[in-house]
Amino acid sequence: MNKTIILKRRPVGKPSLEDFELQTGDIPEAGPNKVLLKTKYVSVDPYLRGRMRDEKSYIEPFSEGEPVESGIIAEVIESGNPNFKKGEFVNGMLKWQEYQVVNGTGLNKVDPEIAPLTVYLGVLGLTGITAYLGLEKIGKLKAGETLLVSAAAGAVGSVVGQIGKIKGCNVIGIAGSDEKIERIKSSFGFDHGINYQTSDNLRKEIKQKCPQGVDVYFDNVGGEILDAALLNMKKFGRIINCGAISLYNETEVPKGPRPEGILIKNSLLMQGFTVRDYIKEFGPAINQLSGWLKEDKLKYSETLVEGFENIPQAFLDLFEGKNKGKMIVSV
Ligand SMILES: NC(=O)c1ccc[n+]([C@@H]2O[C@H](COP(=O)([O-])OP(=O)(O)OC[C@H]3O[C@@H](n4cnc5c(N)ncnc54)[C@H](OP(=O)(O)O)[C@@H]3O)[C@@H](O)[C@H]2O)c1
């Protein structure tokens, strides 16, 4: 029996399990030039929320009644395509289906001998690459600078902080629990952490932890945390707008302080980016990240949820901060 998870209806505000539906059907056959894949690991990511809206963006929205898709590691079960052999593992943008037939376009082979398969969805996958290229292309970190990062215990944020330490920076992370703050310091070498859930005054707390100001703010969350960071930026600071998870479930964009005065006075650079802008540079980014992994300069953590049926719940849990590191579903 095959299993598929479709987007039953577009979420309004915070998504719920009722927005998804599990369907069953037959397992398809590969056929000429096609490959039959069995899903092993599914990446759930905050940006999928954006694809659930019927809005034009840098990536097509999902259709109601159709399977959701995300980064998936799958095993080749049957192959009519000479480029893929039974037993190989591949990484690609695939449907939330236990078994699926594809033509092979866009699949990359991954080798479990080189790294555990889940790593290709995290530190050697899109989130690791996002951390690396965001810092390289916009952050342009220099040794001795102060780097602030939000969602610091998450997949992107934990890699950002560690790269900051590799580059010789003073690194401060913002996250949503004391346990996460402890973890980013003890496991990932951050210098300081700030729990935004218990902070009475985030602007003051950032000032306390970054008395000379922030040179680079890697923003994964937007909203009020970005407002507080903006007030602590140093002259010629750089702000990397990587994500805005605090706004993804809003039905109307909340009005915040207007940043233009701060940007002008401090000659700040504030730049949005999507990692797909730099597809040509994924290869060198992965080489650098795997080099650091081998040298043990980079560590990673994962929250592994068991069971295909639990993919929607794992996705919802991202918005409650239930993940530590990369959120992955093991099928
Ligand atoms: N631009 C790109 O190309 C690109 C690529 C990948 C990811 N991203 C973005 O980068 C960000 C991080 O992605 P990720 O995959 O690494 O996810 P993640 O950080 O592993 O997981 C999301 C984390 O966001 C935090 N969070 C949830 N709701 C929040 C809120 N209202 N305010 C503040 N923090 C909140 C939670 O941690 P706490 O417990 O700390 O709240 C949660 O664990 C997301 O915004 C994502 O969309 C962008």
pLDDT value of residue 58: 82
Contact yes or no for 273/134 (Cβ under 8 A): yes
Provide CB contacts within 8 A for 300, sequence distance 6+. Answer: 119, 122, 123, 128, 158, 159, 293, 325, 326
Q: Decide whether any atom of ligand 1 lies within 6 Å of the 174 Cβ.
A: no
Say if residues 31 and 22 touch (Cβ distance below 8 Å).
no
Tokens 């102060």: give the residue: 146
Q: How far apart are alpha carbons 269 and 262 in whole angstroms?
A: 11
Give the position, in ligand 1's atom list, of the atom nearest the Cα of 245: 45
Per DSSP, the three-state class of 30 is coil
d(CA 156, CA 224): 19
Minimal-distance CA residue to ligand 1 atom 27: 319
State which of 123, 138, 221, 276 you would mutate to test the pocket of ligand 1, scoring each by most atoms of that ligand within 8 A of its C-beta: 221
Q: Give Cα 92 distance to the centre of its chain.
A: 15
Specify the residue for token string 């889940």.
118
So what's the pLDDT on residue 154? 98
Q: 310 CB less than 6 Å from ligand 1?
A: no
- β-pairing, 2-7 with 214-219? unpaired
282 pocket-lining for ligand 1 (C-beta < 6 Å): no
| Ligand 1 centre distance from Cα of residue 34 (Å) | 35
Atom of ligand 1 nearest to the CA of 246: 31
- Residue of 245, 300, 303 to test ligand 1 pocket, by largest number of atoms within 8 Å of CB: 245
Segments in 175-234 forming alpha helices (H): 178-186, 202-209, 223-230
Q: Give the whole-angstrom CA distance, residue 100 versus residue 119.
A: 22
Grouped pLDDT means (10 residues each) for the chain, 331 residues: 97 97 95 95 97 89 97 97 97 98 95 94 97 98 98 98 98 98 98 98 98 98 98 98 97 92 98 95 96 96 98 98 97 96
- pLDDT value at position 56? 85
Flag whether the pTM goes above 0.95.
Answer: yes
Distance 28 CA to ligand 1 centre (A): 35
121 in ligand 1 pocket by Cβ < 6 Å?
A: no
